[in-house]
Amino acid sequence: MHVIEAIKSSKKIFISLEITPPNKGQSIEDLYRVIDPLIEFNPGFISVTYHQPQVVYEERDRVIYRVPKRKKPGTVGICAAVTNRYKIDTVPHFILGGFSKFETEDALIDLHFLGIENIFAVRGDPAPGEKSFIPEQGGHRFASELVEQISNMNRGIYLEDLENAQPTNFCIGVAGYPEKHYEAPNFDKDLQYLKQKVDQGAHYIITQMFFDFQVYKNFVERGRSIGIKVPILPGIKPIISLNQLSSLPRDFHISIPSKLVESMENAKSSTEARKIGINYVKDLCQQLIDFGVPGIHIYTMGKGTATQELLTCLFK
């Protein structure tokens, strides 16, 4: 089922999860141990992240070779395995880095043949070791261009002029940034970029994580005011440790409210700090539910215990 249809047909609050593939050499059973306890909460879909490989140069017999090394391979395989095991729709992340437009088209055709009809279209982070995003030669520079290519394929328009070309049937999700993407010059410009992705054919938006209800509310209201009408799923991350008070803002370019920071810092133990963080995010989710959000998307970051605690607090 398309994500947009699942959201609209859900009779209770719609929950979705985001997972990361296991590192190369690790077992998929490690991932199943993350997902297994979360299935009782009936997630509407599970999205699977994808990252650019790190490119290294190795000398062999006096010849320098360019060798891409991917830390977390197998996104499509993970999607197929998760769907088969849990009978849940999966949404692979599809990024720009490492793909030309023709390679993008071929990969999308493979997904289409596999029956994967949901795509999360994002530019992706810069390659490991790079300070800024560098598109592949002959590839896209912006996520809106990827959305346009997928939308064209949904209309039977391919890069080559093909006779009687069959259309694909992808439902397209894109990312939104309630606190502005760190590379955007200002919030208004960032919203214009988001609207461009929607205008090109995106069906729904998932936000970057945030920890302040008002941040999400303002983002939605300002988006609606410029004509963004698609569902906007809030992205939520359970916060459970003092280390995350610095690592999350550093890694994801978000802010954490002073109230939460002070409460966790004043905790008498790590157990108490964890409880404070879970309860704070639970209250945030309740505010979002009361606001009438179309669903809640939870970033598990490959660890399911905190997500299980959050969902248990919310629904049990």
* CB neighbours of residue 52 within 10 Å: 22
pLDDT exceeds cutoff 80 at 187:
yes
How much is the pLDDT for 69? 61
State the pTM of this model: 0.91
Which of helix, strand or coil describes residue 227? Answer: coil
Q: Which of 7-16, 74-83, 122-131 has the lowest mean pLDDT?
A: 122-131
Among 134-138, 139-143, 307-311, which range has the highest average pLDDT?
Answer: 307-311
Structural domains in the chain, sorted by start: 3-234 (3.20.20.220)
Q: What is the mean pLDDT of residues 114-128?
A: 86
How much is the pLDDT for 1? 87
CB within 8 A of 278, min separation 6: which ones?
Answer: 238, 240, 306, 309, 310, 313
pLDDT tens, position by position, 240-293: 999 999 999 999 999 999 999 999 999 999 999 999 999 999 999 999 999 999
Q: Is 4 exposed, middle or buried (0-12, 13-18, 19+ CB in 10 A)?
A: middle
pLDDT band at 122 (very low <50, low <70, confident <90, very high): very high
How much is the pLDDT for 75? 84
| Residue 78, CA distances (Å) to 46, 121, 127, 238, 268 in order | 11, 17, 22, 23, 40
| Residue 17, CA distances (Å) to 115, 122, 223, 234, 310 in order | 20, 17, 24, 12, 12
pLDDT exceeds cutoff 80 at 74:
no
pLDDT exceeds cutoff 90 at 176:
yes
How much is the pLDDT for 67? 57
Percentage of the chain lying above the pLDDT 70 cut: 91
pLDDT exceeds cutoff 90 at 32:
yes
Tell me the two tokens of residue 60.
């062999």
Q: Which of 63-72, 94-103, 141-150, 289-298 has the lowest mean pLDDT?
A: 63-72
pLDDT band at 68 (very low <50, low <70, confident <90, very high): low
CA dist., res. 6 & res. 46, Å (int): 12
